[in-house]
Amino acid sequence: MTQATMSRVEAFLTEVDRYSAHNYHPLPVVLEGGEGSWVWDVDGNRYLDMLSAYSALNQGHRHPSIIGAALSQMQKLTLTSRAFHNDQMGPFLSALCEVTGFEKALPMNTGAEAVETAIKMVRKWGYKIKGVPEDRAEIIVCENNFHGRTTTIVGFSSEDQYKDGFGPFTPGFVEIPYGNSEALEAAINQNTVGFLVEPLQGEGGVVVPPPGFLSTARELCTANRVAFMADEIQTGLGRTGRMFCCDWESVRPDVQIVGKALGGGVYPVSATIADAEFMDVFDPGDHGSTFGGNPLGAAVGLASLNVIVDEKLPERSDQLGSWFMDQLREFESPHIKEVRGKGLMIGVVIKESSGVARPFCEALHARGILAKETHHQVIRFAPPLTINKEDLRFALSQAKEVLSA
């Protein structure tokens, strides 16, 4: 690095430090370009993206057909609001329902908005259809969850930092330990309207629930008329080696929540998906979003879905992920406590005696691999699902270097 470019990076970091809220702690890399699984910084250094924007880039950076769809839609019409119809929303929602196997979908923008939509929908279903007394609805959530950052959602987080200073919080949420079906059964009562769960916890540290948990939870929800709400914002759309992570246990939720990769890394697109029994509780004026379902987002969403289906990304994720995980498990490292995950959603847990995960991520950065720690002890490897084996081999060799003595 020359003195001139050094100072360019430093000038950028200083500017951001000066003008931005300090609500993140990013690696000190300043990116200016990307294509497929690779990104490059302002000095032209190339890095393999092993985070893919927390799984919002399953299709890779700037996938040509998603960029093509976005550009051509931008030349025609970008925003109507839901006060008028547009010709893109119908085809997008119909494809989304086809892929997910549900009757209806409600388009939003960010993941947190889709979770909020699901909460409102299930509460109203509880009052109008199930017959729960007014303002008594309860939704069961799991310890160590991550469902977004709105005040209602952080109110039922078990992470102190997510809540500290942000109360008072929305009542009506009951917490159980993740993966514990007895606790779920015990928590259900006549006012329970929903069970909100990540089929594999991403931000919580790539935590895989015990086998049978999802299917048992499904049975309990069915038996007690409780809506099974699957937050597949991170796990869905191929990430875990199936189209949806619930598919691993052949579980069909009542409400499915998708986001992140639905926008193909180009534009925020999320959706809450359910059958008419749930969706029809919404009447005009009950709920909305200025940007939700806009023609640009709908065109991008449709193209993003098509890439996942046409390029068989769930199968790729399954094959490449199993290979990568096997290689990591066979590798003897003094620092690795456990390797866990499904498909290309992989967590490498660092032993407490080896410190935290952050320095390993910094060492990977120096070797051309961008990965990010989650929950202090876990390095998450979640590359674009379009990644090729050669690039994954490169990531593996660098990871082995960093994780050996």
Ligand X SMILES: *Cc1c(COP(=O)(O)O)cnc(C)c1O
> Looking at the annotation, which residues are catalytic?
146, 231, 260
Smallest distance from the beta carbon of 360 to ligand X, in angstroms? 22
Backbone torsions φ then ψ of 270, nearest 5 degrees: -135, 170
Smallest distance from the beta carbon of 374 to ligand X, in angstroms? 10
**Strand ranges, E, within 170-265:** 173-176, 192-197, 227-231, 255-258
**Residue 62 identity:** R
Binding-site member from 47, 92, 102, 146 for ligand X (CB under 6 A): 146
Smallest distance from the beta carbon of 150 to ligand X, in angstroms? 8
CB 309 within 8 A of CB 315: no
Is residue 231 a contact residue for ligand X (CB under 6 A)? yes
Read off the tokens for 327: 């290689």
Is residue 198 a contact residue for ligand X (CB under 6 A)? yes
Smallest distance from the beta carbon of 203 to ligand X, in angstroms? 6
CB 345 within 8 A of CB 206: yes
Read off the tokens for 310: 């046409």
Is residue 380 a contact residue for ligand X (CB under 6 A)? no
Which residue lies nearest ligand X, judged by its C-beta?
Answer: 111
Binding-site member from 144, 234, 386, 398 for ligand X (CB under 6 A): 234
- How many beta carbons lie within 10 A of that of residue 210, not counting itself? 11
Read off the tokens for 105: 């979908």
CB 346 within 8 A of CB 380: yes
Identity of the residue, 201 or 333, whose beta carbon is nearer to ligand X in the bound complex = 201
Of 100-108, 124-132, 145-153, 206-214, the segment contacting ligand X by CB under 6 A is 145-153
Of 92-100, 143-151, 176-184, 351-359, the segment contacting ligand X by CB under 6 A is 143-151
- How many beta carbons lie within 10 A of that of residue 161, not counting itself? 8
Identity of the residue, 202 or 314, whose beta carbon is nearer to ligand X in the bound complex = 202
Is residue 147 a contact residue for ligand X (CB under 6 A)? yes
The arrangement of strands across the sheet holding 270-274 comes to: 104-108, 270-274, 255-258, 227-231, 192-197, 138-142, 173-176
Rounded to 5, what percent of the chain is helix, strand, coil?
Answer: 40, 20, 40
Smallest distance from the beta carbon of 321 to ligand X, in angstroms? 17
Q: How far apart are CA 83 and CA 67, in angstroms?
A: 27
C-alpha distances in Å from residue 201, one per residue of 204, 206, 251, 336:
5, 5, 17, 20
Q: How far apart are CA 307 and CA 103, in angstroms?
A: 22
Rg (C-alpha) for the chain, rounded Å, is 21
Q: How far apart are CA 294 and CA 269, in angstroms?
A: 9
Q: How far apart are CA 10 and CA 344, in angstroms?
A: 33
Identity of the residue, 300 or 403, whose beta carbon is nearer to ligand X in the bound complex = 300
Is residue 112 a contact residue for ligand X (CB under 6 A)? yes
Is residue 233 a contact residue for ligand X (CB under 6 A)? yes
3-state DSSP assignment of residue 224: helix
Smallest distance from the beta carbon of 136 to ligand X, in angstroms? 26
Interface map 358-377 toward ligand X (x if CB under 6 A): --------------------
Backbone torsions φ then ψ of 51, nearest 5 degrees: -115, -35
Of 64-72, 106-114, 239-247, 354-362, the segment contacting ligand X by CB under 6 A is 106-114
Is residue 204 a contact residue for ligand X (CB under 6 A)? no
CB 374 within 8 A of CB 346: no
Smallest distance from the beta carbon of 270 to ligand X, in angstroms? 6
Is residue 58 a contact residue for ligand X (CB under 6 A)? no
Identity of the residue, 142 or 184, whose beta carbon is nearer to ligand X in the bound complex = 142
Is residue 41 a contact residue for ligand X (CB under 6 A)? no
Interface map 60-99 toward ligand X (x if CB under 6 A): ----------------------------------------
Is residue 228 a contact residue for ligand X (CB under 6 A)? no
DSSP state of 352: G
Of 10-18, 123-131, 157-165, 195-203, the segment contacting ligand X by CB under 6 A is 195-203
Interface map 248-267 toward ligand X (x if CB under 6 A): -----------xx-------
Is residue 195 a contact residue for ligand X (CB under 6 A)? no
Question: Which residues are near ligand X by CB under 6 A?
Answer: 54, 110-112, 115, 146-148, 198, 202-203, 231, 233-234, 259-260
